[in-house]
Chains A and B, each alone.
Chain A
Amino acid sequence: GAGVSQSPSNKVTEKGKDVELRCDPISGHTALYWYRQSLGQGLEFLIYFQGNSAPDKSGLPSDRFSAERTGGSVSTLTIQRTQQEDSAVYLCASSVRQEYGYTFGSGTRLTVV
């Protein structure tokens, strides 16, 4: 596609429920990144994919968080047993090469009530 697409744009969920966030990167972008942005905070790195493998998942905050990427394209970030502190904007980005920079999606705003 023309840009990075994320869905849903907004998600309100009850504490303890599982949620899935989707990212559709730019076609041909082999690298895909997930970041989290909390209110008033910068971007917190979560996980990085090169193709379908995740060389760096060091930013995942707990084992409730997982992500996968299939076909070198779409990625899904799953949060199990959501907690209120998971409330944030989850941003996805893709790139061809690091030095070219990333193209970001508009994000998914997750609210856990």
Chain B
Amino acid sequence: AQSVTQPDIHITVSEGASLELRCNYSYGATPYLFWYVQSPGQGLQLLLKYFSGDTLVQGIKGFEAEFKRSQSSFNLRKPSVHWSDAAEYFCAVGANSGYALNFGKGTSLLVTP
């Protein structure tokens, strides 16, 4: 069965520290991969996406993610976290059109001073 796993429910980092949020998936073929961010009381905003080509993708707000086929992972990274990055982060996986994206349960990021 197709699935998306975000192993960390909550993560706390200090402002200025680096960040890595994990995402693992189980899909039959190379999927389309996405990271979304949801700030409190807001809708979901697309941070970045991968569907082919260079496995390291750059997104908005200084985020990047790397697709690793051998590990079935698509981890999100940021070199230096800002207090405004505190939010819920969702990894999403999809296949060809015809099926909706499958979302992970999310990782809540807390940024401390």
Contacts and interface: CB of A to CB of B under 8 A. Distances in A.
Q: Do A and B come from one complex?
A: yes
Interface in A57-113: 59, 91, 93, 97-107
A102 B101 contact: yes
Contacts, number: 58
Interface of A: 4, 31, 33, 35, 41-43, 45, 48, 50, 55-56, 59, 91, 93, 97-107
A101 B103 contact: no
Contacts of A100: 49
A97 to B, nearest CB: 6
Interface residues of B, number: 25
B32 A98 contact: yes
B43 A102 contact: no
23 contacts: A42-B90, A42-B103, A42-B105, A43-B44, A43-B90, A43-B92, A43-B103, A45-B100, A45-B101, A45-B102, A48-B100, A50-B98, A56-B98, A91-B44, A98-B94, A98-B96, A98-B101, A99-B32, A99-B51, A100-B49, A103-B46, A104-B45, A106-B43
A41 B38 CA distance: 13
Q: Which of B43, B49, B51, B105 has the most CB of A within 10 A?
A: B43
